[in-house]
Amino acid sequence: MNMLKVLVLAGAVAATMANANANDAAGKLTNADGVVTIGYREASVPFSYLDGQKKPVGYTMDLCAHIVDAIRKQPGMADLKVNYVAVSSSDRMEKVKGGAVDLECGSTTVTKQRAGEVAFSNPIFFADTKILVRADSGIRTIADLKEKRVIVNQGATGAPLLAKVDMDKGLHIQFVKSRDNVESFKSLQQSKVDAFVHDDIQLTILAATSSDPKGYTLLAESLSSDPIAIMVRKDNKQLKQLVDATLAKINASGELAKVYAKWFMTPTFKVPMGDALKNELKRQ
């Protein structure tokens, strides 16, 4: 074999190995070669929801856009395509675990049970689980929910938390399940239920952006205080590392604070960044 053929063969082998390495990297980062699938919520304002043009937007969606840009900079991923899949509180975990979604960019709170099944990014928000009632309902404390109808999003953390209080205090609460925030809040508006349990930030925004902002009251008592984060598959350590590194980078540059202000400090409602998130970002 002459030297020219040796060099050509060597070049071909090197190219094949480079392509294989790029494919390996792609395979570890995403469930499908050349495609990253983002799970979004349809009505989790302002984290992840559909705008007037039915486009997924929101705080978490913007953060995930930075992560997608970071994936594109990896070897062999320059032509990365983005696929969007709607998820709900009841199916988001299974879609991440089963590989239907690479990044769940919604409003999922981190719990010990969930952390045993999926991986979470570093926290992007901290929320209290609270209860929203109509201002004229006469309900002022959790104890006032005795024998009342309380609506919960199926698969959300509020249901088991309130169920424990219900059992401990013998309140005999009547639980009603719904698909999402829109359905739950509509039921409260129409007096089909007496209360809605969910993350305080989303309850606050639902009330603030309604036709009667002063017609609702958030009970002072909290059922829990939990971080909100981006979900990825538990065995996808490479993607988890890239997600955290990207969040740390945009935090250090000041971009994360700008994204926060864009979605939480609006003319309609203002929710300043809390101490829990500020302290978390200082540690990153």
Model confidence at 83: pLDDT above 70: yes
Which run of H or of E encompasses 196?
strand 195-199
Residue 158's pLDDT is 87
Closest alpha carbon to 165 in 182, 148, 189: 148
pLDDT band for 50, please (50, 70, 90 cuts).
very high
Give the mean pLDDT of the chain: 90
Tokens standing for residue 153: 């999003």
pLDDT band for 68, please (50, 70, 90 cuts).
very high
Q: In this prediction, what percent of the chain has a pLDDT beyond 70? A: 90
Residue 128's pLDDT is 92
Domain segments of the chain: what residues?
A: 3-126+227-283, 128-225
Tokens standing for residue 196: 């809605």
pTM given for the model: 0.80
Average pLDDT over residues 60-75: 97
Model confidence at 152: pLDDT above 60: yes
pLDDT band for 11, please (50, 70, 90 cuts).
very low
Model confidence at 9: pLDDT above 60: no
The CATH code of the domain at 128-225 is 3.40.190.10
CATH fold match for the domains 3-126+227-283 and 128-225: yes
Model confidence at 202: pLDDT above 80: yes
DSSP, res 43: E
Average pLDDT over residues 33-38: 95
Check if CATH label 3.20.20.70 holds for domain 3-126+227-283. Answer: no
**Strand, coil or helix: 33:** coil
Distance of CA 34 to the CA centre of its chain: 23
d(CA 134, CA 195): 7
